[in-house]
Amino acid sequence: MRELDLLSHIYRSNAGLPAGVTIPPGDDMGAVTLAGANMLVTVDQVADGVHVDLANTPIEKVGRKAITRNLSDVAAMAAKPVGAVAAACLPKGFGEERAQVLFDAMRSTAEYFGCPLIGGDISAWDQRLILTVTVFAEPAGIDPVLRSGAQVGDVVYVTGALGGSLVTLQDPPGYIHHLDFTPRLDLARTLAGNPATRPHGMIDLSDGLASDLTRLCEQSGACARIDASRLPISAAAGLASIQSGHPAWRHAIGDGEDYELCFAAHGEIPGEVDGVEITPIGEIVQRGSGDQSQGKVTMRLPDGSLLDVAGLGWEHSG
Q: How far is the CB of 13 from Mg ion (least distance, A)?
A: 20
Given the complex with Mg ion, which of 44 and 138 has the nearer CB atom? 44
Given the complex with Mg ion, which of 28 and 218 has the nearer CB atom? 28
Given the complex with Mg ion, which of 70 and 197 has the nearer CB atom? 70
Burial class (CB in 10 A: 0-12, 13-18, 19+), 57: middle
- Please count the CA atoms within 13 angstroms of the CA of 305 that sit on its side-chain side: 4
Q: Which residue is nearest to Mg ion (CB)?
A: 28
Q: How far is the CB of 28 from Mg ion (least distance, A)?
A: 4
Report the DSSP beta bridge partners of residue 273.
Answer: 276
Q: How far is the CB of 77 from Mg ion (least distance, A)?
A: 9
Q: How far is the CB of 137 from Mg ion (least distance, A)?
A: 13
Given the complex with Mg ion, which of 197 and 206 has the nearer CB atom? 206
Given the complex with Mg ion, which of 135 and 285 has the nearer CB atom? 135
Contact 83, 44 (CB under 8 A): no
Q: How far is the CB of 44 from Mg ion (least distance, A)?
A: 8
Given the complex with Mg ion, which of 68 and 206 has the nearer CB atom? 206
Q: How far is the CB of 103 from Mg ion (least distance, A)?
A: 24
Residues 6+ away with beta carbon under 8 Å from 105: 59, 60, 61, 62, 63, 64
Binding site for Mg ion (CB under 5 A): 28, 73, 204, 206
Q: Give helix 59-76 / helix 96-112 axis angle, nearest 10°.
A: 30
Given the complex with Mg ion, which of 219 and 279 has the nearer CB atom? 219
Q: How far is the CB of 178 from Mg ion (least distance, A)?
A: 14
Q: How far is the CB of 291 from Mg ion (least distance, A)?
A: 29
Contact 61, 180 (CB under 8 A): yes
Given the complex with Mg ion, which of 219 and 292 has the nearer CB atom? 219
- For residue 73, which phi and psi values (nearest 5 degrees)? -65, -35
